[in-house]
Amino acid sequence: MSLVSKRIRFALRLLAAGLLSASASAELRPLDDGELSAVAGQGLINLDALTYGGYEYTRLNIGGDMKLLTNIDKLRLGNFARTGSSNPSNLGTVSNQSADIAIDNFALGRVDNAGGANAQIVPFEIRDPYIELAFKNNGNGVREIAGVRLGFGRARGDLSGDIHSLTGTMEGYINGPASIALEYYKQTHSGCDFNCIALSIAGDAELYSKVQLVKEGSGDVTQNGVPINRATQIGVANGDRFHTTDAFLDGLLPLLATQGGDCKASGLPACFPLLNYKSIFVGDRLNSNLATGGAQGIFFSVQGQNVPWQDLADKSKFIQTQAGAFANFAKYTDGNKDIYPFAVALYDALRGTARVDTCIGGKGC
């Protein structure tokens, strides 16, 4: 049995243990026709089935909301060797990390005033969680589990940890005034060259860009023709650029593009270590309504082969995953607007974000 298959079985056992450990107490009694006619709704748990690309899927949907405050010392998914130039799973590997997803001191939720008498838990909120299995015939007529994923209909709250590597999709939005970029540039460079002058012209115009997982040193998002895995950095991809809210300035500052594969734009770093981000806020920080402020489409998966998972933020699309572990924090479209699962300020990207408190009495437990 492969290591991936063992991990899939372990994930299933964890789910079963969680469901069996739940307890409830209620009186059961029959309802007459009048009472039944007044009842409308959906069961707490329901199943969906799907066939696509030679795979069969069974998804267990758990309707309802969850609020979590949890700390995990080490989170490791896809902890197997991606070695050897002839190994297909190694084609996109961009670091020497031992796992596809490696996060120390992982936490969901935060604690405000953690060291005071009025400590307040601010939980990580989840709506409509689900677990899904992908099956495929192995060529000998045997139906086998090809992958398993755990996902959320909506999610909102603080995610913390020392992120050593990530495999998957992690798309965010970065923005801030050009004046902050200029200040940082002056602190890290001597004199005022063309880049300095260009940023000075931009003044307080807002700079913004999409950020995603990239290869350190180049900003590439693929390697050997496949998406990168075990990324250690996030940033503006090679060939992408910062934009400004001023149309004239946007055309005047072409050097805000990352070119030449050096992870820089106008002399500023455009790629940032994931370890810089000790905490990020998932969802809309300014909208506390989970139904409208929660991020969609988030999931974690483990698969023994390349499995396409349905994108539940847009069910007409499927997300291609490599064998191993995969985390999906992808942007999605609401009408004509792109919605990102997280946003960071330009200053935070340049300096890093501090960890929020995740237990009462200290930073993390």
Q: State the pLDDT at residue 252.
A: 61
**At residue 351, does pLDDT exceed 80?**
yes
Per the structure block, which two tokens stand in for 3?
Answer: 């290591």
C-beta atoms surrounding 61 within 10 Å: 20
Cβ-based burial of 42 (10 A; exposed 0-12, middle 13-18, buried ≥19): exposed
| Interatomic CA distance for residues 226 and 3, integer angstroms | 22
| Interatomic CA distance for residues 345 and 281, integer angstroms | 12
Q: State the pLDDT at residue 350.
A: 80
Per the structure block, which two tokens stand in for 297?
Answer: 């489409």
Query: What share of the chain has pLDDT > 90, as a percent?
Result: 56
Task: Return mean pLDDT, the chain.
Answer: 85
Closest CA to 329 of 207, 163, 205: 163
Least confident among 122-126, 129-133, 243-247, 303-307? 243-247
Residues 6+ apart with CB under 8 A from 304: 2, 4, 5, 8, 145, 146, 147, 323
| Interatomic CA distance for residues 126 and 109, integer angstroms | 11
Per the structure block, which two tokens stand in for 253?
Answer: 């500052």
Banded model confidence at residue 33, pLDDT cuts 50, 70, 90: low
Sign of the alpha-carbon dihedral angle for 231, 332, 352, 176: positive
| Interatomic CA distance for residues 43 and 36, integer angstroms | 14
Between 166 and 9, the higher pLDDT residue: 166
Give the 3-state secondary structure of 287-342: CCCHHHHCECCCEEEEECCCEEEECCCCCCCEEEECCEEEEEECCEEECCEEECCE
| Interatomic CA distance for residues 235 and 166, integer angstroms | 13
Cross-strand bridge partners of residue 154: 127
User: pLDDT by residue (tens digit) across 196-241?
Assistant: 887 888 888 888 889 999 999 899 999 988 999 999 999 999 888 8
With tokens 């990390």, the residue in question is: 97
| CA distances, 145 to each of 14, 15, 100 (Å) | 16, 16, 20
Q: State the pLDDT at residue 14.
A: 45
Q: State the pLDDT at residue 23.
A: 36
Report the alpha-carbon angle 181-183-184, nearest 5.
65
User: pLDDT by residue (tens digit) across 81-124?
Assistant: 987 656 666 889 999 999 999 999 999 999 999 988 899 999 99
Q: Are 309 and 330 in contact (CB under 8 A)?
A: no
Per the structure block, which two tokens stand in for 335?
Answer: 């009408």
Q: Are 355 and 71 in contact (CB under 8 A)?
A: no
| Interatomic CA distance for residues 52 and 83, integer angstroms | 31
Q: State the pLDDT at residue 346.
A: 84
| CA distances, 113 to each of 118, 161, 319, 356 (Å) | 7, 19, 40, 10
User: pLDDT by residue (tens digit) across 272-328?
Assistant: 999 999 999 999 999 999 999 999 999 999 999 999 999 999 999 999 999 999 999
Banded model confidence at residue 183, pLDDT cuts 50, 70, 90: confident
Q: State the pLDDT at residue 39.
A: 54
